[in-house]
Structure 1
Amino acid sequence: MLERRVNLEGRAATADVPRITVGGLRMAALDLEATADFMIAATDQRHRINRPLYLTSANGEVLARCSTEPQIERLFRAADLINADGQPLVAASKLQSWFPLPERVATTDLFHVVARKAEVTGRTFYMFGASEQENAAAVRRVQNMYPRLKIVGYSHGYLDGEALRAKVDEINALAPDFLWVALGVPNEQAFVEEYTPRLTNVGVIKTSGGLFNFLSGSRSRAPRWMQRFGLEWAWRTWLEPRRLFWRYLTTNPRAIYLLFSRNRPANR
């Protein structure tokens, strides 16, 4: 696989994580709890590498876009670890592989598991992304939910040029164990590629999509039964039809094709 050749440091740091290729991308075959444990362990000073460990997530839309947009495929293949944030990916792996994905690892769920563990272990967070209002509201709710969690800083994501570079340097000086970057695909992946060299004091970067909108309460998640049956995309389309209808109309059929044509188990 391409990421094996270009990401040797990350491969070594994640060598013990089992993977399975789903829809053309190698995914971590870990459940939520194990993923959070891995992230906590990765921020231990004894396990740090000379740059942040980069974790991202993929769903059906990402699979479809990676198969048609080389730039996005490159950004995802550069990740140290990719989580399956989509129930259809889990279902397809169980139908076709003797070594399936154990469960969906949605960033919206993963954040809370990591936050609970970070409270106990003293790990620190920085929350970067979304609008100023959404970011501040998300931070307030997180602080209420996890009063012992150390949030060393936060910022909206509407920055560019020198202001963005200064913010990145500020984040690096604060040296958070976890940097949650919520800028949306592919902006957050491009951010990681460009600014990782300036973030040497950060332990783990986790791209987060619309996480802060859910944390702030401005956006509601699909009912549990829709999540279980892989219909969260339908819920989101119902809430935001103008923005999402055409996106899912064009990516869902290709994602289904990829899920049944580009799967295979992989131990590393």
Structure 2
Amino acid sequence: MPDVVAQLVARPPGAPFGYVVTPNADHLVRIAREPRIRPLYDDAWMRLLDSRVVAQLGRMVGLPVPAVVPGSDLTARLVEQEIAPDEPVTVLGLEPAALARLVERTGLRRIAHHNPPMGFERDPGEFEAAVRFIEEHPARFTFLAVGSPRQCMVAHKVVERGRATGLGLCIGASLLFLTGEERRAPVPVQKVGLEWAWRLAQDPKRLARRYLVDSPAIIGLLRQEARSRKA
């Protein structure tokens, strides 16, 4: 974490727009099933492993595993320790009430905010509006909180157009932990790799398929990767 934060903070605010992705098991399984979205991750300025479960499984099958840097922890570290209250910040996503709580809890006073409607990635006009909002509201840090792969699609398009500056962080629900909208698992639960079980218990209707049906495919993918490296 300290090394990652140091790299993010050291990046000049006026540098061409780049973005950070924090893939977890769900993302990696989706990439395997939908190869068309892989460039969204390959072209990121920085890729960070967000899953202790993937790290543990990777080590079990003999893969070299990078350090885990959860997007939620990274977001909290930046907001609480690196971003001054009067620094401009851009946020894509969050309902107005959640944004108000974010301001109240963090003290951030200069937030440029746009919350695109559900399904905006399939509406050319709404997608263009999201991209243009980031271009027109430059900030050292832009938080893209509209879910995967939508947030990566927006960030990738911003990079392609080459008009924006700063750094985008594709961080999903991370801001909701800071607002109190969602609760993080206790630290001991996080450290043993069971945060997914905690989140499932909090919101089973939304997360049951992701964690119990889709994500277990990561086991086969990691085994396949390990075999290909030995071949």
Q: TM-score, normalised by structure 2?
A: 0.82
Cα distance change, pair 215–128 in 1 and its aligned pair in 2 (3 A): same
Deviation at 1:228, TM superposition (A): 0.8
Separation in 1, partners of 2:134, 2:209: 36
Deviation at 1:206, TM superposition (A): 0.9
What is the aligned partner in structure 2 of residue 61 from structure 1?
26
What is the aligned partner in structure 2 of residue 6 from structure 1?
none
1:141 to 98, 105, 120: 105
**2:36 aligns to what SS in structure 1?**
helix
2:41 counterpart of 1:82: no
Q: Does the aligned pair in 1 maintain the 2:23–2:51 contact within 8 Å?
A: yes
What is the aligned partner in structure 2 of residue 174 from structure 1?
137
Cα distance change, pair 106–157 in 1 and its aligned pair in 2 (3 A): farther
Report matched runs for 1:191-230 at 5 Å.
191-197=154-160, 200-230=163-193
**2:110 aligns to what SS in structure 1?**
strand
Q: Does the aligned pair in 2 maintain the 1:125–1:177 contact within 8 Å?
A: yes
Cα distance change, pair 254–132 in 1 and its aligned pair in 2 (3 A): same
Separation in 2, partners of 1:240, 1:211: 15
2:119 counterpart of 1:156: no
Cα distance change, pair 84–151 in 1 and its aligned pair in 2 (3 A): farther
Gaps of 5+ in 1: 1-31, 144-148
Deviation at 1:230, TM superposition (A): 1.1
What is the aligned partner in structure 2 of residue 11 from structure 1?
none
Gaps of 5+ in 2: none
2:4 to 24, 35, 39: 35
Deviation at 1:198, TM superposition (A): 5.1
Deviation at 1:164, TM superposition (A): 5.5
2:194 counterpart of 1:231: yes
Q: Does the aligned pair in 1 maintain the 2:114–2:133 contact within 8 Å?
A: no
What is the aligned partner in structure 2 of residue 26 from structure 1?
none
**1:180 aligns to what SS in structure 2?**
strand
2:203 counterpart of 1:240: yes
**Amino acid across the alignment from 1:54:** Y
Identity over the aligned pairs, expressed in percent? 25
2:69 counterpart of 1:105: yes
2:68 counterpart of 1:114: no
Greater strand proportion:
1
Deviation at 1:90, TM superposition (A): 2.8
**Amino acid across the alignment from 1:91:** Q
**Amino acid across the alignment from 1:71:** R
**1:126 aligns to what SS in structure 2?**
strand
Q: Does the aligned pair in 2 maintain the 1:179–1:202 contact within 8 Å?
A: no
Q: Does the aligned pair in 2 maintain the 1:86–1:106 contact within 8 Å?
A: yes
Q: TM-score, normalised by structure 1?
A: 0.72
**Amino acid across the alignment from 1:72:** I
Q: Does the aligned pair in 2 maintain the 1:88–1:230 contact within 8 Å?
A: yes
Moved more, 134-143 or 234-243: 134-143
**Amino acid across the alignment from 2:3:** A
Separation in 2, partners of 1:252, 1:222: 19
Cα distance change, pair 130–235 in 1 and its aligned pair in 2 (3 A): same
Deviation at 1:156, TM superposition (A): 2.1
| Structure 1 residues 3-33: Cα deviation after superposition (integer angstroms, max 9, x where no partner) | xxxxxxxxxxxxxxxxxxxxxxxxxxxxx11
**Amino acid across the alignment from 2:173:** G
Deviation at 1:254, TM superposition (A): 1.1
